[in-house]
Amino acid sequence: MDKFLFLLGEGLKNLWRHKLTVFTAVFSVFLSLSTIGVLFIAEQNTHKLIEYMRTKYKIEVFFKGTVTNEQAIQYIQKIRMIPGVYSTTLITKEEALKVYKSQFGDDLTEFLDYNPLPVSCVVNVKRKYDGYLIITPIIERIKEIEGVDTVNHQGHLISRIESFYERGLLGLSGIAFAIILVTVMIIANTIKLTIYSNKDLIKALKMLGATNTFIRIPFILEGVLQAILGAILASALLYGAVYGANEILSQLTTFTINVQWMFLGWLFLIAVVISLFGSSRAISKFIK
């Protein structure tokens, strides 16, 4: 136990002696883990966001002017059979006239002696639909149905979000990998500097019969401590960011960011692995 406390104390001393380089290493770990954390949270919630937007996404189908309410009901049954369609809502001629009057204040029947508005329906896309939400096939199938006149939609919005998500995920993965490599090198250089500044002490310990393992442990602990500090900062940032974002979202929408906070344990594990790689890279060259 005394030996472990001694080695831990040496690791802490090394951190204090090289504050600037240690700060650089800790910041690098913090940056890389924050990026990985953002990736994880994005992966968890983007699909949820897309599903949420699908519930808000609607396709408006207008039938030909000669189509009656009864005929429209038959056509709508065919629309419901199309893959990706969640539900439909019929808007009769009478209901359409009421909506028009409430929005514009005019009663068309007073001028035309008949109701010129067509029967229509609102189509809701399935909330959970395997793969990308490919709107075009749904629209084309609806247009093929007899009695359909026009179809209004904004399907490109969700498609763009899904495309942006895939590209963003790939880009962030590349950035995270690059940052991890840089972090490993920075930790390695920090340990090298510490080893170089303690070269006389290392020689003295070797002359006294200290094993290489005994000499290496303080430097390994230094790297691990740097990584843990970076992980603590990254965890605090991610937790605070998610909490703050949910506070804002609660004022605007029912959508919230959900996070399985157990992934913070994985962040600490990744931090330790990064530090061990960096420390081992430096130690293997200078302490043999």
pLDDT tens readout for residues 82-107: 988 888 989 988 888 887 777 776 76
User: Residue 157 has which token pair?
Assistant: 């919005």
| Residue 235 near residue 267, CB atoms below 8 Å | yes
Long-range contacts formed by 240-248: CB under 8 A, 24+ apart: 242/41
pLDDT at residue 4 in the model: 46
Q: How confident is the model at residue 14 (pLDDT cuts 50, 70, 90)?
A: low
| pLDDT surpasses 90 at 276 | no
Instruction: Name the helix (H) or strand (E) containing 123.
Output: strand 120-125
Q: Which range among 28-32, 39-43, 53-57, 147-151 shows the weakest confidence by mean pLDDT?
A: 53-57
CB 34 within 8 A of CB 238: yes
* 76 has pLDDT over 60: yes
- Give the separation between CA 232 and CA 34, rounded to whole angstroms: 10
Name the burial class of residue 127, with classes exposed (0-12), middle (13-18) and buried (19+) by CB atoms within 10 angstroms of its CB. Answer: middle
Domains of the chain: 2-51+159-286 (no CATH), 58-153 (3.30.70.3040)
pLDDT in tens, 133-186: 567 788 889 999 989 999 987 666 666 777 777 787 788 778 878 877 887 887
Return the exposure string of 188-223: e unless at least 16 CB atoms fall within 10 Å of the residue's CB, then b: bbbbbbbbeebeeebeeeeeeeeeeeebbbbbbbbb
User: Percent of the chain having pLDDT more than 70?
Assistant: 75
Local confidence band at 1 (pLDDT 50, 70, 90 cut-offs): very low
For residue range 220-251, what is the model confidence (pLDDT) as tens digits?
777 788 888 889 999 999 999 988 988 888 88
The pLDDT, as a whole number, for residue 208 is: 65
Band of pLDDT at residue 78, cut at 50, 70 and 90: very high
